[in-house]
Structure 1
Amino acid sequence: MGDWIIRNVNDGDEETVAAFGFALHMHYLYHGDFEQKNMFLAEKENEALAIANLTYHDTFHAAGHDDDPGFIRYLTGEISFAGEEEDEAVKDALLNALIARSREIKAQHPEKRIVLNQYIDPDNLAEQSYYLKRGFTIYESIVILKYDLSRPVPAYPLPEEVQIRPFLLNNDEARGKYHLAEQDSFNGVAWSLNHLAWMQGTPEMVNFCAFSGDQFLGNTSTWRVSDSHSVTENVFVIPQWRSRGIARNLLCTALAYLKEQGKTVATLGTYGTNKKAIRLYTQLGYELDGFRLTLGYEMD
C-alpha cells in the first residue's frame, strides 16, 4: 500500500462525499439503500483521492428464486476518483475492498449465487481490460435504443376496460401496488421500495400506468436526462394482461408526453437476450443507440 489508507465512510464525511458529485452526495444523504459500511474512501493526509460504493442490484432481493442455484444476484460496485487521472494502486485497493465486502455478504447468504458487477461502455477497452485482468468476465450485454421525437408518435387501439394515466407513487399503498406488479412482471425482480421512493424525486419523473378498474396492469416511467433527452424505462405489463397492446400504448403515451414537453430524444435499455422486448421497441420506431456490458466477479 502507498502512503494512503482505505476506510469506510462515516458520519463526518458529508462534504467529502459531495466533492465526488451531486448525484452521489444526494444518494448518500437520502437513499435508503446506500450504507456507510458499503462505502470506502481512499485518503491521503485527510485528502480524499477516490471513493467506492457497493449497492444491491434489483436482482439481489428477487423473490421466488431461493430454489434456483443458478439465479444470479448482483451487487453493483462503482469507483470514482477526485481528479481526471486514476491511480491504479488506489483503484486496486478500492476494488479489493468491494470484493472483500461482497464476500462478507456472500457469507451471510451462502446458498445464493452472488456476483459483483460493473457496467462498462463497449468502446472503453482500457476499463474492460482492467477488470478482465482482475478476474471479472462478461455476463450480459444491455442494448440501448433511442426514439427520435421529431417523428410522429404512433397510436394503437387499447382494450375498452383499460385506462392509462399518470400515477403518483407518493404513498406506501401506491408504491406497494406498483412493487407487487413489477415483481409479477419481472419474475420476482423489482426495485427496492427504498429505490422506488427515491426515484420519485428524480427531475421530471412521470409514471404512466395502466389500470382496469383498481387493478394495476403495467407501467412506463420517464425521467429527465437533459433539457432535450429523457428516458422511457421500467416498461412492464403483468403476465395475465400481455399481448393486448398495453405495453405499446404505455410507451406511446410516454413518448407523446415527452414530445409535448419539447424533448427531442427518448432512450431505453434492455437486456440483449430479451428478443421480445427488442422486437416491440424496434416496431414502435426505436433505433439502436449503443450497448453496455455487464462485467462480473463471482463470489465463491
Structure 2
Amino acid sequence: MTAGPLDARTAGAVRGLAARATAADRVAPLSEQPLLWLTDPEPPAVHVCATDASGEVVGYAQADVGAATWVSAELVVDPSRRRTGIGSRLLGRLRSEAAVVPGRTLQVWAHGDLPAARAFAGDAGMVVVRELWRMRLDLTSPRPERPLPQGVRVRPFVPGQDEEAWRRVNSRAFAYHPEQGRMTSNDLRAREAEPWFDPAGFLLAEREGALLGSVWTKVHPSDEGRDDGHAAAVGEIYVVGVDPDAQGLGLGGALTALGLDHLAARGLSSAILYTGAENTVAIRTYTRLGFTKASADVKFGYGTQGSPSGVTMST
C-alpha cells in the first residue's frame, strides 16, 4: 500500500491501464475522484499497483480510507491479464487495509454492473450493498417549467470567492452521503483546475445574500466508454445541493431545470446524472423532469483474496 501521490510515471501508467480497460469494456473502471487522487498530495486514499516482470502496471486498486467504519475501493486489471489471479490479489490487499481498523468493512465499486464483475464478486463471496443509477434525458424534448421560489436569485460561481460558502452548504446538503458530503477544499480546487470546469455552468441560488443551494454542470466532450450506445458530447448535472433549511421549497427541481437549460443552450442534445437507487425523492424529481434510468454502477461488500504468480504488488 502506498499513501500520498503516485509519481508522474506511475500515475500515467495507471491512466493508460484504465484507458485500455475502458476500450475493452465500454465503461470506465475508475471514477473521477480516484483519478484525481492519483497525484493529490494529501489524498485520504492508498494505492496498490500490480506489475509484471517487465515493470508494466497490469493492475491497480485504490482504497478510500477517509471514513472510520468502511473502506470504499475501485480496482482494474489489464484486459490481457484477466483471469490470472491479479484481481483477487488486489482484493486481498484491500481487505488487509480495511482490517487495519477492527470492524471496518470493505466495499468495492463495479462500474457498469458488467457480468464479469458480478462473477468476480460472487466468487469472492461479495454481495451488492449499494446501487448508483445513471439517468439520461433528451434535451431536445420539451421540459416542464420549474420556477424558482420567491425571492431567490441565481448567479454564476466566482472562483476565489465562493469556495468556502459552497463547501459548507454542500457538506450540510450531503451530510448523509458517503462521498459527496466529504468533499474538501482540495477536492474542489482540483476540479476547478480540470479542463472541463466552467463557472458559467456552476449556478448558486441565494436569498438576501445567503446561499441556499446550487447546481453544477459538466460537459463531457464524448460519451464514449459507456455501454448505453451514446458517443456524442453529453452534458451532466454534476451536483445539485440544497441546504437542509431550504428544502421543501422546490429549489432542487428548479435548479436542475436551470442546469438543463444551460446545457441545452450549449447545443447539447442529451444530459446525464447519477443518483443512488435508494434516493427515491431525487429519482421522483428527476423522473418528472424527463430522466430515465440508462445504466447502473454497483458496490459490493465483503471479499476474499488470492495470489497470482509472476506479479508484484508495490507497497
TM-score, structure 1 length as denominator?
0.79
Quote the residue 2:228 is aligned against: none
Residue 278 of structure 2 aligns to a residue in which SS?
coil
**Equivalents in 1 of 2:188, 2:237: separation in Å?**
16
Change beyond 3 A, Cα 1:77–1:252: same
**Equivalents in 2 of 1:11, 1:31: separation in Å?**
5
23, 29, 38: which is aligned to 1:28? 38
Change beyond 3 A, Cα 1:220–1:88: farther
**Is 1:114–1:298's contact at 8 Å kept on the other side of the alignment?**
no
240, 243, 262: which is aligned to 2:245? 240
Per the TM alignment, residue 259 of structure 1 is displaced from its structure 2 partner at its CA by 0.7
Per the TM alignment, residue 79 of structure 1 is displaced from its structure 2 partner at its CA by 2.0
Quote the residue 2:226 is aligned against: none
Which stretch shows the higher mean deviation, 251-260 or 137-146? 137-146
RMSD: 2.8
Residues 139-288 of structure 1 mapped to structure 2, 5 A cutoff: 139-168=129-158, 170-171=159-160, 174-189=162-177, 190-193=181-184, 194-202=186-194, 203-205=196-198, 206-227=201-222, 228-288=233-293
Quote the residue 1:3 is aligned against: none
What percent of counterpart residues are identical? 19
Which stretch shows the higher mean deviation, 182-191 or 280-289? 182-191
Quote the residue 2:50 is aligned against: 42
Which stretch shows the higher mean deviation, 15-24 or 158-167? 15-24
**Is 2:107–2:299's contact at 8 Å kept on the other side of the alignment?**
no
Change beyond 3 A, Cα 1:182–1:13: closer
Per the TM alignment, residue 34 of structure 1 is displaced from its structure 2 partner at its CA by 6.0
Cα displacement string for residues 97-143 of structure 1 (whole angstroms, at most 9, x for unaligned residues)? 11111222x24xx6xx5432223423x12211211221321112222
Quote the residue 2:20 is aligned against: none
Per the TM alignment, residue 257 of structure 1 is displaced from its structure 2 partner at its CA by 0.7
**Which structure ranks higher in relative contact order (CA pairs < 8 Å, sequence separation ≥ 6)?**
2
Residue 276 of structure 1 aligns to a residue in which SS?
helix
91, 94, 106: which is aligned to 1:95? 91
Per the TM alignment, residue 275 of structure 1 is displaced from its structure 2 partner at its CA by 1.4
The alignment of Structure 1 onto Structure 2 pairs a total of residues equal to 270
* 1:77 correspondence with 2:85: no
**Is 2:59–2:76's contact at 8 Å kept on the other side of the alignment?**
yes
Per the TM alignment, residue 188 of structure 1 is displaced from its structure 2 partner at its CA by 4.9
**Is 1:136–1:297's contact at 8 Å kept on the other side of the alignment?**
yes
Residue 20 of structure 1 aligns to a residue in which SS?
helix
Cα displacement string for residues 19-41 of structure 1 (whole angstroms, at most 9, x for unaligned residues)? 23267765422464265xx1112
Per the TM alignment, residue 207 of structure 1 is displaced from its structure 2 partner at its CA by 1.9
**Equivalents in 2 of 1:9, 1:179: separation in Å?**
25
TM-score, structure 2 length as denominator?
0.75
Return 5+ residue gaps in structure 2 as ranges: 17-31, 223-232, 305-315
